[in-house]
Amino acid sequence: MLLVDLGPIAQLRAGRLGRRLPQLYVGLVAYGVSLAMMYRGDLGLAPWDVLHSGLIQHLPITIGEAVVLMSFVVLLLWIPLRETPGLGTISNALVVGFSADLTLALVDPPDAIVLRVGLMVGGVVLCGLASALYIGAQLGRGPRDGLMTGFARHTGHSLRLVRTALEVTVVVIGVLLGGTIGLGTVLYALAIGPLTQLWLPAWTIDVGPGPDRSPDAAGA
């Protein structure tokens, strides 16, 4: 099964929503849980979450609210890049942050280092699975993924190069703001790609070529 590039209307017309919608939201909730696990582990966060954790040092908001805020800031950058959001894009912008805050309200920070390491490793593994779930639902890119693909398309550079440049940039800004960086940041950078790729084939839902391949359907 292959990932296809469909516009927001074509994504919904592609069918199999009875499976795709639940998978999307399970994946997004799990993504928020994974963020909270790494945050409670306090051994380093994913690159974008380094930025989020830096923001909360200066704004009266939670980590989840910082995720939501930055998601919509990133979506503003989609406008000049001519990226088109889908249901999954907007859902991603909202659900991940709310899920992270709810998890943090339920999980206290552990003192034992073995528990902190377990939360860090478990968070990275769960994030890989969560990414495969929401991407495989084929209901639109997340805000940060769309920023990456938009820059890649407009600059002609590879996705790998653009992703690396974006993540280095947000880590540097996050660290300057006082964000949390550490072993977990390195582990995430090394493992998230292979983990997502490992699970993505099993969770990619076949929607065929899509009923609408017109120009209006491009740029999900």
Answer whether residue 137 is part of any domain.
yes
| Both tokens assigned to 77 | 């950058």
Give the pLDDT confidence score for residue 1 in this predicted structure: 55
d(CA 177, CA 138): 35
| Both tokens assigned to 136 | 């495989």
Confidence band of 12 (pLDDT split at 50, 70, 90): confident
Residue 189 sits in which domain range?
A: 17-204
| Mean pLDDT value of segment 112-124 | 97
Answer whether residue 101 is part of any domain.
yes
Give the pLDDT confidence score for residue 217 in this predicted structure: 32
Per residue in 46-102, pLDDT tens?
999 999 999 999 999 999 999 999 999 999 999 998 888 889 999 999 999 999 999
Answer whether residue 100 is part of any domain.
yes
Answer whether residue 6 is part of any domain.
no
Mean pLDDT of all residues in the chain?
89
Answer whether residue 138 is part of any domain.
yes
Inter-residue contact 102 to 35 (CB < 8 Å): no
Per residue in 25-42, pLDDT tens?
999 999 999 999 999 999
Confidence band of 15 (pLDDT split at 50, 70, 90): confident
Number of domains in the chain: 1
